[in-house]
C-alpha cells in the first residue's frame, strides 16, 4: 500500500472511531489540511489544534512545521506587547484598529532572576533575547510557549554589558536560530555567534582596524533583513556621523553600507522592517528637529515621508516597530513613553500619544511557535 493510501486509511479510521461524518475534511488530505489551512492559524490556534488527534499532535509539534508556520502568519495580527512589571508580567494584544490595547493576559516569568533585573534587548520571529542586569547572562525566550534557553557559557561568552555591547537575533539558511554578540571592553572589540543547533559559541574574525571602532561609538542592536543583520553605529565622537554596517549571516563578514548623509551637526536613525524591506527613520536638524522615513533599495536610499515639526523630538532614544500594513508605527522610548505615527495622515494628525502605554517596560514581539532549542521536538 502506498504512503498516501496508508495515511488516508488512518485518517478514515480515526474519524470513524469518533463517530463523525467528515468526508469533506478527509478528502482534503493531511498535507493540504496542515500546510494550507492549519499553518495559517494564529500560534494559539495551532496549540489547540494539537488536541484534535495524535496525528495532528505529531505533525504540528515538529520544528519543520514551527518554522513554516512562522513564515506564514500575519505579523500585524499576531503582535503583542509584553510588560515586565512583576513576576506576573502582562501581555497586551496590539489592535490594528484601535489606539489602545485589548484585554491583557498575565504570564509567569520562567526565570530565576529578579523581575526588575530582566531587560529585553530585541525580538525576532517570536523569540526575545533577554539580559539579566545583575549577572549579564543572556537568555532566548518564547513568551507564548514559555520555553527559554540560557546561552551564556562558562568561559564568559554571552555575558552582556549594557551601553557597551550589541546583539542581534537571526536565522540562517539551515533554519538555525543564532545570536550575534558584539562585545566591547576597554577599547577592544570581540564578535561571537551562538548557534541553537550546536548549542555553542564561535568567534568571528573581525577587522578591528577601522577608526570607527575606537573611542566609544554607540551601536544599535541588530535588525535582520534578507540575510543581513544591520547595525547603526553612532560615531560622532570620531566626527564620522552615523554609519551602517551589515553582517552577512552566510559569509559571517561585516561590510560598511551606504547611509543617507546630512549636513547637520547631529542626526540619529532607527531601523525598522516594513513589508520585508529595510527602512530607517532619521531624526536630524538640531534644534529644529525633522524626521524622515527612508527605504533601502539596493545600495541606495529613497526618501518616502517627512514627519511634521512636533516638539520635542519623539524618535530619539526610542525603538520603532511597524504594527500594521497601513503605515502605522509604534514608537516606544527607553522610559516606556509611547506614541503612534500614521504615515497615511498629514500634519499633526499623524502623531498620536498613547496614554495607556506610558510607564510600561517591555517589548513588542510576534506570537509564534519558534523554539530557542533547536532539537525541541
Per-residue model confidence as pLDDT tens digits over 23-61: 455 556 777 888 888 888 888 888 888 888 888 888 888
What pLDDT is stored for residue 200 in this prediction?
93
CA gap 126, 172 in Å, rounded: 16
pLDDT tens-digit profile of 233-271? 987 555 567 889 999 999 999 999 999 887 766 778 889
pLDDT tops 50 at residue 12: no
pLDDT tops 60 at residue 13: no
- Bigger pLDDT: 263 vs 69: 69
CA gap 92, 367 in Å, rounded: 11
For every residue of 231-255, which 3-state class applies, written as one string?
A: EEEECHHHCCCEEEEEEECCCCEEE
pLDDT tops 90 at residue 176: yes
CA gap 192, 183 in Å, rounded: 8
pLDDT tens-digit profile of 317-360? 666 766 655 677 777 766 666 677 777 777 777 777 765 555 55
What pLDDT is stored for residue 217 in this prediction?
79
| CB contact at 8 A, 175 and 184 | no
Question: Confidence class of residue 7 from pLDDT cuts 50, 70 and 90?
Answer: very low
pLDDT tens-digit profile of 188-240? 888 999 999 999 999 998 655 444 455 577 889 999 999 999 999 987 555 56
Element holding 177 (H helix, E strand): strand 177-185
CA gap 259, 271 in Å, rounded: 11
CA gap 134, 45 in Å, rounded: 37
SS3 267: strand
What pLDDT is stored for residue 283 in this prediction?
81
Residues 101-108, mean pLDDT to the nearest whole number:
70
pLDDT tops 70 at residue 313: no
State the Cα torsion 373-202-277-362 to the nearest 10°.
60
Question: Confidence class of residue 18 from pLDDT cuts 50, 70 and 90?
Answer: very low
pLDDT tops 60 at residue 95: no
Task: Classify residue 309 by its DSSP letter.
Answer: -
What pLDDT is stored for residue 150 in this prediction?
94
What pLDDT is stored for residue 19 in this prediction?
42
What pLDDT is stored for residue 149 in this prediction?
94
Question: Confidence class of residue 10 from pLDDT cuts 50, 70 and 90?
Answer: very low
What pLDDT is stored for residue 290 in this prediction?
77
pLDDT tens-digit profile of 266-303? 778 889 888 889 999 888 776 677 788 899 999 999 99
What pLDDT is stored for residue 327 in this prediction?
73
What separation, in Å, do the N-terminal and C-terminal C-alpha atoms of the chain show?
Answer: 28
State the Cα torsion 157-217-321-327 to the nearest 10°.
-150
Amino acid at each position: 500500500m502506498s504512503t498516501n493510501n496508508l495515511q488516508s486509511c488512518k485518517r478514515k479510521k480515526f474519524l470513524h472511531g469518533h463517530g463523525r461524518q467528515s468526508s469533506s475534511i478527509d478528502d482534503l488530505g493531511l498535507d493540504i489540511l496542515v500546510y494550507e489551512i492549519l499553518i495559517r492559524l494564529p500560534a494559539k490556534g495551532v496549540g489547540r489544534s494539537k488536541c484534535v488527534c495524535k496525528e495532528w499532535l505529531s505533525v504540528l509539534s515538529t520544528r519543520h512545521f514551527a518554522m513554516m508556520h512562522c513564515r506564514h502568519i500575519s505579523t500585524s495580527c499576531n503582535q503583542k506587547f509584553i510588560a515586565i512589571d512583576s513576576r506576573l508580567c502582562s501581555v497586551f494584544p496590539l489592535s490594528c484598529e484601535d489606539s489602545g490595547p485589548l484585554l491583557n493576559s498575565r504570564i509567569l516569568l520562567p526565570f530565576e532572576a529578579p523581575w526588575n533585573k530582566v531587560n529585553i534587548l530585541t525580538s525576532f520571529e517570536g523569540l526575545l533575547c533577554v539580559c539579566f542586569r545583575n549577572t549579564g547572562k543572556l537568555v532566548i525566550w518564547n513568551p507564548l510557549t514559555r520555553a527559554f534557553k540560557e546561552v551564556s557559557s562558562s568561559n564568559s561568552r554571552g555575558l552582556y554589558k549594557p551601553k557597551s555591547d550589541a546583539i542581534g537575533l537571526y536565522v540562517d539558511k539551515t533554519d538555525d536560530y543564532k545570536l550575534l554578540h558584539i562585545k566591547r571592553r576597554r577599547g577592544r572589540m570581540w564578535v561571537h555567534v551562538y548557534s541553537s543547533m550546536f548549542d555553542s559559541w564561535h568567534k568571528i574574525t573581525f577587522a578591528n582596524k577601522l577608526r570607527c571602532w575606537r573611542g566609544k561609538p554607540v551601536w544599535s542592536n541588530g535588525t535582520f533583513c534578507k540575510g543581513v543583520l544591520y547595525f547603526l553605529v553612532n560615531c560622532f565622537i570620531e566626527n564620522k556621523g552615523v554609519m551602517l554596517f551589515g553582517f552577512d549571516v552566510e559569509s559571517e563578514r561585516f561590510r560598511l553600507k551606504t547611509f543617507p548623509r546630512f549636513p547637520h551637526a547631529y542626526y540619529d536613525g532607527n531601523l525598522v522592517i516594513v513589508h520585508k524591506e529595510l527602512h530607517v527613520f532619521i531624526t536630524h536638524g538640531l534644534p529644529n528637529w525633522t524626521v524622515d522615513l527612508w527605504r533601502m533599495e539596493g545600495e541606495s536610499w529613497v526618501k518616502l515621508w517627512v514627519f511634521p515639526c512636533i516638539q520635542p523630538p519623539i524618535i530619539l532614544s526610542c525603538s520603532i516597530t511597524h504594527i500594521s500594513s497601513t503605515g502605522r508605527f509604534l514608537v516606544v522610548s527607553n522610559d516606556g513613553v509611547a506614541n503612534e505615527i500614521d504615515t497615511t495622515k498629514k500634519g499633526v494628525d499623524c502623531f498620536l500619544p498613547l496614554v495607556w502605554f506610558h510607564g510600561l517596560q517591555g517589548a513588542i514581539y510576534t506570537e509564534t511557535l519558534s523554539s530557542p532549542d533547536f532539537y525541541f521536538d
